[in-house]
A and B are shown apart, each in its own frame.
Chain A
Amino acid sequence: MSGLQVFLEYTLAGIATGGVYTLVGLGFVLVFKASGVFNFAMGDMMMAGAYTFYLCAVVFDLHWAVALLIAVVFSCALAWLIERTVLRRMMGQPVIAVVMATFGIGFVLRGIAAIAFGSEAYQLPALLPRAPFFIGDIMLPGKSVRGFVLTTGLCGAIILFLRYSRAGIALRATAADQITAYAMGINVRRVFALTWMAAAAIGTVAGVIAASVTSLTPDLGTIGLNVLGVVILGGLNSVGGVIVAGLFIGWLEAMTAAYLPGDIREITPYIAVLAMLMIRPYGLFGTRPVERI
């Protein structure tokens, strides 16, 4: 195989992995945009969705589409419950307190999964056909490619939703100015609930894709930590930034895997983030708050 071919193959595979990062990143950004809270439970909500999918698809032997639908509905309900019982009570508390609460929620979810399913790794059914994909001579893993197509579609839908639907506009208004949104008659609490549910739904899809590419363990959520880097790189409040950054981090990981020895792959995203923070502390596309004096 020629050098160029190796490069292209790893590039495309990396971008495909990046798609999952992008999805999870969008889950972070949605919640952050609406409420200013960084949701550390995102990775674990994703894991919970993936286990629900496993339960439906393998244990109850349902068709994968039905299983996915049930998993999405279940995790939306879970997110609603979390929002209702924990986060809503904390409205008006300092953001850091709420962020710590999301940490706690994450640990609880992980603990429940470990008790219920044990720590062994499960294989998810082939959600997406395994048959490899060929672009010319370049061979790509079929799951990654199809997963990428799925994530692209979902990202597009989210962007359209935020930009044009009334709920999306209400969400952006809440993000821009909570008090004023309230005065306009926007039910800010419902917007919060809606973003949490949307994040959970996106996370479930991402979790199922991620788990079907590798395997399912209660620690699936730690992918959320990689995504933390992605989100910071892209800008916490930027949907476009997170998409670009997700793909970029995926690509960067693939590149280091291809050309650099072993474990460096694990730390490259963080090096990229560190470099980014020194040059543009608001992230690639994040907006710097401008004060008029």
Chain B
Amino acid sequence: MSALEVCDLTLSFGGISALSGVSIVAADGQITAVIGPNGAGKTSFFNVVSGFYRPTAGRVLLDGRDITALPPHRRPALGIARTFQNIALFHGMTVLDNIKLGAHTQLQTGLFGAGLFLGHARREEAELTRRIQSDVAGFLELDTHADKEVQDLPYGLQRRVELARALAARPKLLLLDEPVAGMNREEKQAMSRLILDIRRQWGTTILLIEHDMGMVMDLSDHVAVLNFGRCIATGTPDEMGRNQEVISAYLGEPGAPLAGQAA
């Protein structure tokens, strides 16, 4: 059973094609890594899945439902959440408010009703706050920082807040765009453990863009390799490690050892 199925995706900007004929499947409850050199189209691929780019051709299916033309703000309600390559938190707001915004679409009351601060909206929000504090913030060890403003937190914690915000909606499909970029070894290990914990706890399907080959090898069940906008190989991490085309495209020199190699 596949949670996300992307078929024959083509994305062009004017004459430049960012993706051509890409098909990637993310199996239910598995961790699928999308790797490839810089400019291979990984983030463009994510942007199509989260709806920021409308593909020129091809389809995006979530649980069998065609969501290709769905605008981005309608997708979280279907269970898609994402983090960004550059941390994209809402500055000037507290950690808790940032996380709560991730669950924005889970609430029943609309923006206008909430604006009037009706009793129902308030109860619903109190319930959400409680749930986030007990579930998500506790899980990611953010509870002691809940009332701090996000921009005052160190980098590693900001990444974790972003992850918490993505989790607040209890997504079925979680898109992580380079979750450990710029982290040191300990932070990377902590983040890897968190990603595994998330899957274990909620059975979330995870799609991961990562440059750290060691991490990709350790975490993922399935790997898709992009190069110049084409998907050149898919398979298990081991298969990818032996695939000559992948090795020459991604790592440059044939026969170089893969494990532990960082980008």
Contact = CB atoms under 8 A, between A and B. Distances in A.
Contacts of A179: 52, 88
Contacts of B97: 169
- The binding surface of chain A is classed by DSSP as helix
A183 B72 contact: yes
A165 B113 CA distance: 10
B8 to A, nearest CB: 25
Nearest to A198: B115
A180 B84 contact: yes
Interface string A135-161: 000000000000000000000000001
B111 A184 contact: no
B120 to A, nearest CB: 12
Interface stretch (A16-24, A170-178, A205-213, A247-255): A170-178
Interface in B24-76: 50, 52, 72-76
B92 A170 contact: no
A186 interface: yes
A3 interface: no
Given A166-B125, A194-B111, A287 B92 contact: yes
Given A172-B90, A185-B105, A165 B114 contact: yes
B117 A186 contact: no
A172 B92 contact: yes
Given A166-B121, A169-B100, A179-B52, A187 B73 contact: yes
A130 interface: no
A181 B50 CA distance: 12
A227 B165 CA distance: 38
Interface in A22-79: none
A274 interface: no
A168 interface: yes
B115 A168 contact: yes
Interface in A81-114: none
A230 to B, nearest CB: 21
A161 B92 CA distance: 16
Contacts of B102: 184
Contacts of A182: 52, 72-73
B22 to A, nearest CB: 21
Nearest to A157: B117
Nearest to B155: A292
Interface in B72-108: 72-77, 82, 84, 88-93, 97, 100-102, 104-105, 107
A187 B111 contact: yes
Contacts of A168: 115
B13 interface: no
Contact of A170 (B74, B76, B104): B104
A184 B74 CA distance: 9
B104 A176 contact: no
Interface in A251-268: none
Interface string B106-136: 0101011011010001000100000000000
A183 B111 CA distance: 16
B101 A184 contact: yes
B115 A161 contact: yes
B90 A180 contact: yes
Contact of B104 (A161, A177, A184, A194): A184
A169 B93 contact: yes
B88 A177 contact: yes
Contacts of B89: 177, 180
B74 A176 contact: no
A160 B176 CA distance: 34
Given A169-B101, A170-B104, A176-B90, A194 B115 contact: yes
Given A169-B100, A177-B91, 19 more contacts: A172-B92, A176-B90, A177-B88, A180-B88, A180-B90, A181-B101, A183-B50, A183-B73, A183-B76, A184-B102, A184-B104, A184-B105, A184-B165, A185-B77, A185-B104, A185-B105, A186-B73, A188-B73, A194-B112
Interface of A: 161, 165-170, 172-173, 176-177, 179-188, 190-191, 194, 287
Closest 9 CB pairs of A and B: A185-B76, A185-B105, A167-B115, A176-B90, A166-B114, A180-B88, A173-B90, A167-B114, A167-B111
25 contacts: A161-B117, A165-B117, A166-B104, A166-B114, A166-B115, A167-B111, A167-B112, A169-B100, A173-B90, A173-B93, A173-B101, A176-B91, A176-B92, A177-B89, A177-B90, A180-B84, A180-B88, A182-B52, A184-B73, A184-B76, A186-B73, A186-B101, A187-B73, A187-B111, A194-B112
